[in-house]
Structure 1
């Protein structure tokens, strides 16, 4: 019997280099922007923080460099209550970095440099942590062999595998076959095509999400309307919220309904991890 509420997140930690500008530049164009700000990020680290702030028992598995950015990330993830024991530090390797531009409407563009994330290997996987979780969360910002290794361990142990197939890229058929719940946005769903995963959530930004659960009819989950400040990391907040709800035993539609509120809350604050709500903050937000 796996402990209820335990989430293991296997994946990326990035330092987000964020600059705000009125609009995105055209190719070859230079624009003035705000001061550069360095914030903790990375899809998996964001997902872990979101899940922990919502009350989940969360363990993070990943890699950072032996540098200031790596220390920033480990401290930020740990501050959420996430166990960072299995975030390895790579001497002589730069921590992963994301260069983010945010426009006046809160939309963003992101370019990621993998850094230490690309060094994560199956040997770094604490199989007891993966096998002892309730839900294992994976994304595509670390090497595929690590994802496959984690999914195999989880599948063998009867642990639910939640794959956030983002950013878009080639996804091995074996990984999809080992996936219990697939979480993608509309663009990623189109890129994947016929993925064969029976249980899936497709996020649609301001239009909410659609839940596919086996043979049941798809269920549209409406969005929570907000005036966005910064959409960076909102999808990760959604993923972390889904992971917590599934770990607590909720069905897929209930998990998605909770997650749209978390994603909306995250859009009202700047940056990723700093904008994620606690359960009390989320409840107050949804009552307002």
Structure 2
């Protein structure tokens, strides 16, 4: 199998992770147990995950001229990501995500900082680099006009575009048409379609995104696996029960696995299955980038099949 080549255009954040026994209610103070400063950002997480899986990975993004920015770029490089296209923006702080972790679940507040300065001109400046890859992976923690510019450039160059529509926001119709694969999770799908995904609602909601022009839709469903809607029809891919430590970066792990699989020539169903194993392993350890599994781990992972009737 050939080595995949992936370009990620997206965000870099320093994750400030606070662990508590239980989440506080609004207006309440609870005592934290630990605090960790961990390299993150959806774009950087996906880039590191793809590189760990063996893809030749490059990233376009922006950091501030501060110690956090230096640390984030160093983390990319140490994990094998080509980071020459990550620019340093004087006068802007590096993006920060404050993550409250309790019982394996999390809630997150993101301050974009220098991510707001990842601009369409940066995409054009690295057009030649994008021309060398197979898959371009996008998210929504940088300006929407940059995401659109990256998708347009990728399609002009004949590349496969994966759009991870997170954090959820309204999207222009053009971006759907430019996306070969769109990968909302359950809540993002409900936001984008303004409808419940319970029962038959899942397939109907996914079909709405196809009607808007997306090539195919892959919806992640946590431990219930994923669903695929493409021109071949609707398919379910089972999940893998694991002991959850930290769900931060689970979606990023999935998207990186999907990008890596497609860039290597896997068909969509196989690539989604591969991505599900990557995500399952990622949630068994603390930290988004630190928790991303290597290729050998994924290939040796033996999924635990759910009992019949277990949903």
Q: Which of the five TM-score ranges fits, normalised by the shorter chain?
A: over 0.9
Contact 2:177–2:215 (Cα < 8 Å) also in 1: no
Indicate the residue corresponding to 2:121 in structure 1: 123
Contact 1:14–1:95 (Cα < 8 Å) also in 2: yes
Contact 1:134–1:159 (Cα < 8 Å) also in 2: yes
Indicate the residue corresponding to 1:227 in structure 2: 243
For residue 285 of structure 1, report the CA deviation from its aligned partner. 3.2
Residue 262 of structure 2: which of 246, 262, 269 is its match?
246
Q: Does 1:162 align with 2:157?
A: no
Q: Does 1:112 align with 2:110?
A: yes
Contact 1:6–1:57 (Cα < 8 Å) also in 2: yes
Alignment deviations for residues 204-246 of structure 1 (CA, whole Å, 9 cap, x no partner): 00111001121x2311111111010111001100000000000
Residue 212 of structure 1: which of 229, 239, 244 is its match?
229
Contact 1:8–1:137 (Cα < 8 Å) also in 2: yes
Alignment deviations for residues 49-80 of structure 1 (CA, whole Å, 9 cap, x no partner): 11000000000100001111111111111111
Distance 2:241 2:99 in 1: 24
For residue 198 of structure 1, report the CA deviation from its aligned partner. 3.4
Distance 2:256 2:49 in 1: 5
Residue 202 of structure 1: which of 207, 219, 222 is its match?
219
Contact 2:179–2:215 (Cα < 8 Å) also in 1: no
Bigger shift: residues 31-40 or 191-200? 191-200
Q: Does 1:183 align with 2:186?
A: no
Unmatched segments (≥5 aa) in structure 2: 194-207, 305-311
Distance 1:179 1:119 in 2: 23
What's the TM-score once normalised by structure 1's chain length?
0.96
> What's the C-alpha RMSD, in Å, of the aligned pairs?
1.3
Distance 1:132 1:22 in 2: 47
Alignment deviations for residues 20-56 of structure 1 (CA, whole Å, 9 cap, x no partner): 0111111111111123210000001000011000000
Contact 1:122–1:146 (Cα < 8 Å) also in 2: yes
Bigger shift: residues 179-188 or 192-201? 192-201
Contact 1:54–1:279 (Cα < 8 Å) also in 2: yes
Distance 1:223 1:265 in 2: 12
Indicate the residue corresponding to 2:140 in structure 1: 140
Unmatched segments (≥5 aa) in structure 1: none
Indicate the residue corresponding to 1:78 in structure 2: 77
For residue 4 of structure 1, report the CA deviation from its aligned partner. 5.7
The verdict on how the C-alpha distance between 1:4 and 1:275 changes in structure 2, with shifts beyond 3 A counting, is: closer
Q: Does 1:32 align with 2:31?
A: yes
Indicate the residue corresponding to 2:200 in structure 1: none
Q: Which ranges of 4 or more aligned residues in structure 1 deviate by more than 3 Å? A: none
Residue 288 of structure 2: which of 266, 272, 288 is its match?
272
Indicate the residue corresponding to 2:202 in structure 1: none
Indicate the residue corresponding to 1:51 in structure 2: 50
